[in-house]
Amino acid sequence: MRIDDVLVSYTMTKKSEVKKIIKQNRVLVDGIPINLINHQVDSNLNEVKLDGKLVQFPAHRYLMLNKVIRTLSANQDASLPVVFDALSSDINREGLYIIGRLDFLSEGLILITDNGKLGRKLLEPEAHVEKVYDVVTKEPLSETAVAKFASGLVIDGTVKLAPAKLVVTSEHAASVTISEGKNRQVRKMFLSIGVLVTKLVRRQIGPIKLDEQLASGDYRSLTKSEIKALSRYFN
């Protein structure tokens, strides 16, 4: 949450007083005075004090979900199953949204949170957040594909992509690391070299790796260390 929202919602501070209070160094985050009213804080990680008194405020929620194939990366749909169907009924879905959508036939890591700033920062092109995928292909892969990915492919006729890292692990399997997030990008990258992807699994978004113990269709809350690893994208 923004620090000004925390102060207004969970202390007796009036919105008109926030700038003055912060300027007077009366607000400490983890023992350090802050100077921006839009400074992001999370009670999972941060201790906020006003005039030396601890401010209690709700924590953001962070979930890791192992998406199954044939589900939409959406909150709801009139006819098709969606990733939110995997969440148990006791989870309040208000304010939750998906970071890193996957197409209908792809599977693997999806993050779900109510931290809007995190989602925007992770997905903005300037952040260059790396995403790692495992793929299985119909056609065999050659070492020339590695060089083509490294030089930056062209998809959709005219869209030039940033260089990507391709590691061929067998004749029909590879891992690919990209720092962009265009629609169906990985599948289109392989199609541009004449290769059809038959299976696509996302293994990593930024510092967060898919838990190998997490069964397909299951989810869990992020650990404190995982949230801390994401904190670089909070502000």
Catalytic residues: 103
Report CA Rg, the chain: 21
Tokens standing for residue 154? 């062209």
Of 234, 3, 2, 1, whose CA–CA distance to 127 is shortest? Answer: 234
Structural contact between residues 150 and 168, judged by C-beta atoms closer than 8 angstroms: no
Hey, how many other C-beta atoms are within 10 angstroms of the C-beta on 27? 27
Hey, how many other C-beta atoms are within 10 angstroms of the C-beta on 235? 13
